Amino acid sequence: MKVFQRIVIMAGILTLMSLAVKNAPVRAADNEVTRSTLADLKGIYVQIPPVGPEADTLGLTSIQIEDLVRKRLGRAGIPLLSKSDYDRLKYSRTYPLARLEVYLSAYKINEPELIIYSIRVEIRQVMFLARKPVVRMLAPTWSKEAFGSTPDLDMVWGKLDGLLEGFIEAFFSVNSK
């Protein structure tokens, strides 16, 4: 296969992956306004959706991702919630909390030998729409994402770790340790 054809194929796959990573109708970003939504959170619940069969066979399982996320946030001193605490408190107006989700897709191609990946770390919080009747919904309030290609699976883990570091930095930019 010619080099130009490989580049076009890779660009097409990356474009499709960026659209396919569990598209949300609204996406947040990492800026001053979205960081302000992280202020005074009393706890974070970690939820990792299924990664898909291709990522799973590469060794990027939901269980491994959740373990990494929990360890990373716990070491940083961010308070983590259990599922039962999250379910009990998620609609409370007096206990601000959030759900951190990691969406990861990865595909291996053989020529050239590459792993193409897309990762999004997203914070979702319960929002109350200011209208009658009041509508409660879970909405993204902060996110950071990366996509690319690498021959090395450790680079994908490194990108995820970098995105988590971005969240930790954003969290502590508006909360004291």
Under the banding of pLDDT at 50, 70 and 90, the label for residue 14 is: low
In the numeric block, the tokens 């130009």 are attached to 4
DSSP 122-154: EEEEEEEESSSS-EEEEEEEEEEEEEEEES-HH
What is the count of structural domains for the chain?
1
- What's the pLDDT score for residue 1? 53
What is the average pLDDT value for the chain, to the nearest integer?
87
- What's the pLDDT score for residue 65? 96
- What's the pLDDT score for residue 19? 52
Per the structure, the complete domain to which residue 100 belongs is given by 3-174
Alpha-carbon gap, residue 177 to 159, rounded angstroms: 25
This prediction's pTM: 0.82
